A and B are shown apart, each in its own frame.
Chain A
Amino acid sequence: MKGSADQTDRISFSRRNILSGFLFGLGMIAFLDEAVFHQLLNWHHFYDKSTTNVGLISDGLFHAFSWFATIGGLFLFADLRRRHAVRLTRWWGGVLLGSGSFQLYDGIIQHKIMRIHQIRYVENVLMYDIIWNLIAIVLIIAGTIVLFTLSAKERRRD
């Protein structure tokens, strides 16, 4: 009885570590995007005339969600800490996966399909798009590798 309860605890905590990292990673990259590219560099526009109405809705929803995710992810982390259930590597795997997913969604759906805004308003925006999305893919692959090696290790231990 005791053993199986521990087992389910462990699985649910392991999922929570990933979820917490994922949400925080997503929120953090959204925040960096806002702070660095909108405010500091002024590469992104607050609004540009090519934005569709669907783009406006998607932008608002995603912004609201990422705002919540940053704080919610950190509170989930605090909850894991007080339960002594933090698995840092797993959490970082979640962070990589979350930030990569946001970056890829932003780069392909929001920038290109919904035309919310472009990365930069220059002649040769294609280069920026390619680098932006490549970074996203690298983040996703890195996160996947971290999480897969971890589960493989645990299976061997059991």
Chain B
Amino acid sequence: MNEAHFAHSMGFPFEYIFIFLFIGLIVIYVWAGLSTSARKHLKTWPLYRYVLWILGVFSAAAAVVGPLAARAHSDFAVHMVGHLLLGMLAPLLFVLAAPMTLLLRTVSVAAARRISKLLRSWPVRIVHHPIVASFLNIGGLWVLYTTNLYEAMGENFLLHVLVHLHVFLAGYVFTASMIYIDPIAHRFSFIFRSIAFIFALAGHQILSKYIYAYPPNGVARTEAEAGGMIMYYGGDAIDLMIIFILCYQWFRETRPRSSIAVNQSG
């Protein structure tokens, strides 16, 4: 409906800004990994982390620039594919690439202390609480698809950028609050995180069937049905990976220590 207006405001400068941003994210990460690996007292930064980071950047980029992003404005089902890439897959890949750990080993000791102090501060801790993070993530999606926000987003460029930024950041914080890869100030038990995760996943699945039944304002029924099913099964696929990693971390952390090992260390 507002296609022409949108394409205009979304014109060249913005596309280029995003492309530079994504290239910058890759360059900085790779540089930090390589330069810290060269230091004698540090371990080599693992290759798979570079791969995960670069895949994460591509996944986020596909949702923001390029043909998929362009079609997402007119087709809700395509929009939903973009949502899965930006709000679920990219955050998971970024979390697995351990950017905070890399940052802490790149900067000076004094700066690393300041950063970890910031990470321990109460606002970060509240946002990082599994339940708060779930509400920011899933609750945000409920607001987006059950109010006029989705329709309004198609007409206002700034709103469009803010919503996408929120979807990505909330997805990142949510994933990081469930599976611990980077250092965490306040850790919650596996049981607590599992229960919080089940409710968050349920909220996501309920919303996808709700969208199927009650299309968001401005979305055709057939597109809402396709979008709802993409959200449901795509969400399942990515959540399967998060559940697997969460269980695997539990499996490693609770491994039995043989009595011989205990005797030797004690």
Contacts and interface: CB of A to CB of B under 8 A. Distances in A.
A67 B251 contact: no
B197 A68 contact: yes
Interface stretch (A57-65, A99-107, A120-128, A130-138): A57-65
B236 A67 contact: yes
A115 to B, nearest CB: 13
B206 interface: yes
Interface stretch (B32-40, B82-90, B95-103, B208-216): B208-216
B202 interface: yes
Contacts of A78: 251
A27 B244 CA distance: 14
A63 B210 CA distance: 15
Interface string A27-55: 00000000000000000001101010000
B251 A79 contact: yes
A23 to B, nearest CB: 11
B209 A60 contact: yes
B248 interface: yes
B206 A57 contact: yes
A58 to B, nearest CB: 9
B31 interface: no
A72 B247 contact: yes
Contact of B206 (A60, A65, A71): A60
Interface residues of A, number: 21
B256 A60 contact: no
Contact of B248 (A57, A68, A75, A82): A75
Contacts of A63: 202, 205
Contacts of A71: 240, 243-244, 247
B229 A64 contact: no
Taking chain A's interface residues, is the majority helix, strand, or loop, or is none over half, making it mixed?
helix
Taking chain B's interface residues, is the majority helix, strand, or loop, or is none over half, making it mixed?
helix
A74 B206 CA distance: 26
Nearest to B207: A60
A51 B244 CA distance: 31
Contacts of B255: 82
A146 interface: no
A68 B213 contact: no
B75 interface: no
A47 B247 contact: no
A61 B199 CA distance: 7
Given A67-B240, A79-B251, A72 B194 contact: yes
A56 B210 contact: yes
A78 B248 CA distance: 10
Interface in B64-110: none
Given A72-B243, A79-B254, A83-B256, A64 B212 contact: no
A157 to B, nearest CB: 26
Nearest to B236: A67
A94 B248 CA distance: 22
Contacts of A79: 251, 254
Contact of B202 (A64, A72, A82): A64
B201 interface: yes
A51 B251 contact: no
Q: Which 9 A-B pairs have the closest CB atoms?
A: A60-B206, A64-B201, A64-B202, A60-B205, A60-B202, A75-B247, A61-B202, A64-B198, A71-B243
Interface of A: 46-47, 49, 51, 56-57, 59-61, 63-65, 67-68, 71-72, 75, 78-79, 82-83
